[in-house]
Amino acid sequence: MGSYYVLLFTVTDCLFVMRITIIDLLFSWPPHGGADVDVFHVARGLRALGHEASLLFVREASCWERGQADPGMLPFPADQISFAENGMTEENVVAQVGERVARYEPDFIVLTQGYFLKVPLILALQRYRVISRCYAHETACHKDILRFKNGAPCPNEYRRTPDICRACALESRRADVLKGGGDAWSREYVATQAWTPAFYDRFIAAMRALYAVVVTTEQMRPQVAGLCDRIHIIPHGVDTARFDPAGMAPQEKPPVILAAGRMEDPAKGMKALLDAAAMLADEGRRFELRATLPEGGAYPVWLKPVGKISHDDMPGLYREADVCVVPSLWDEPFGIVALEAMASALPVCASRVGGLQDIILDETTGLLFERGNAAALAAALRRLLENGQMRRTMGKAGRARAVEHYGWDALIERHYPSLFTC
């Protein structure tokens, strides 16, 4: 009889080493937002899995949103293309990115942050396997990444209602279009002439040319369903070593409610939170609401604006809080603030919208409420303010969920190997 051997392989062992080029049109480090954090950790994590991953990003003169990073200071190979004032035209971007990519000869390209310029890049790089990472509503909304209009989520979608979406975007971006620029979104809008019917045809062709699309939650799948055959759901991760409850000490103080993020943006729902907090204050309840709002100005005595908080200082902000609130009105594609709060062992009180309802387990890691309903938000906060044991139990459950499902190393090993299969 011959001998038989059983060989056990991990998922990683079965993979070939892949050359992966991540292309990002907005990347900055220190990060400007959660997408930068995602790109950073994914690039580093793919290398930890043994892949030859590198980052190519761009810098544009006079545009603070792009390329505020030193390639030499990043913990993975990175290259930067610099564009002079008014030099980031579609022709220049396609030519220079294409030339760099030809040098790398990647097995896969992951096209991450970017707006309208992603379309010509996808079409120009069709000989490669191109994967598009979508962080928000950029494929559905022609006006911005929010898909939010007149105080509510917009029912229109660019691929189904292109004429309506073009008119909306032109109305919103008219001033920037007339002067030929503005923020990064408007600059790409002008560079690609995205208001034309011809751009719509290119958009559809580009989406169908993709090897795969990555979105953050199942809530985002319908926006790309039917445009690309391969759709992968890969959530954001969180650095559970940075965002942890270490150093949190019980103090004799009023409970602190934290609202972090772009709280000046109407889509973030700050008005509902202020109304809810006013109800609680009128009941005589003691608490302090800390929000990332501009310091100074006329605020209620229970509201403490903390200004804009740096990436380095965010963990400390969570450690000083007792409850985190995410009162969003728009359909959050994910909810990074909620995830960071969970990793910091805070119960999260959030609107039942978008990706938030995928991250937060209602009545287990936090409480969900109807978007914009100040009374429902006040009721949820009242329960948490009254019950310290509930806060601690939910916080502990949230921390466990963040570590198990969203810690970067485990998340990358769980989700990314299947993305890079031939």
Burial class (CB in 10 A: 0-12, 13-18, 19+), 7: exposed
- Sequence-distant (6+) residues with CB within 8 A of 147 are 137, 140, 141, 153, 154, 330, 331
In whole angstroms, what is the distance from residue 277 CA to residue 257 CA?
A: 10
In whole angstroms, what is the distance from residue 39 CA to residue 112 CA?
A: 8
Strand locations in 25-182, DSSP E? Answer: 52-60, 78-83, 108-111, 129-133, 148-149, 152-153
What does the pLDDT read at residue 101?
A: 98
pLDDT for residue 11 is more than 80:
no
What does the pLDDT read at residue 86?
A: 84
- Sequence-distant (6+) residues with CB within 8 A of 242 are 315
What does the pLDDT read at residue 297?
A: 81
Between 249 and 216, residue with greater pLDDT:
216
Question: Which tokens sit at 20?
Answer: 């992966």
What does the pLDDT read at residue 10?
A: 41
Is cis: bond before 155, omega within 30 of 0?
A: no
What does the pLDDT read at residue 180?
A: 66
Class of domain 256-406: alpha beta
pLDDT for residue 8 is more than 80:
no
Mean pLDDT in residue range 286-297: 94
Q: What percent of the chain has pLDDT over 90?
A: 90
What does the pLDDT read at residue 5?
A: 37
Mean pLDDT in residue range 21-45: 98
Give the model confidence (pLDDT) of 128-142 as tens digits.
Answer: 999 999 999 999 999
Q: Are 239 and 413 contacting, i.e. CB atoms less than 8 angstroms apart?
A: no
Pairing of strands 148-149, 152-153: antiparallel
Fold agreement (19-237+409-415, 256-406): yes
What does the pLDDT read at residue 352?
A: 98
Among 360, 353, 320, CA closest to 338: 360
In whole angstroms, what is the distance from residue 290 CA to residue 309 CA?
A: 12
Which helix H or strand E contains 325, and what residues bound it?
A: strand 323-326
Structural domain spans, the chain? 19-237+409-415, 256-406
CATH fit for domain 19-237+409-415, picks 3.40.228.10, 3.40.50.2000, 1.10.10.10, 3.60.15.10: 3.40.50.2000
What does the pLDDT read at residue 12?
A: 43
Give the model confidence (pLDDT) of 308-331 as tens digits.
Answer: 999 999 999 999 999 999 999 999
pLDDT for residue 164 is more than 50:
yes
HSE-CB for 221 with a 13 A CA cutoff: 11
Mean pLDDT in residue range 70-82: 98
| pLDDT tier at 269, thresholds 50, 70, 90 | very high
Average pLDDT of the chain is 94
Give the model confidence (pLDDT) of 176-212 as tens digits.
Answer: 777 766 799 999 999 999 999 999 999 999 999 999 9
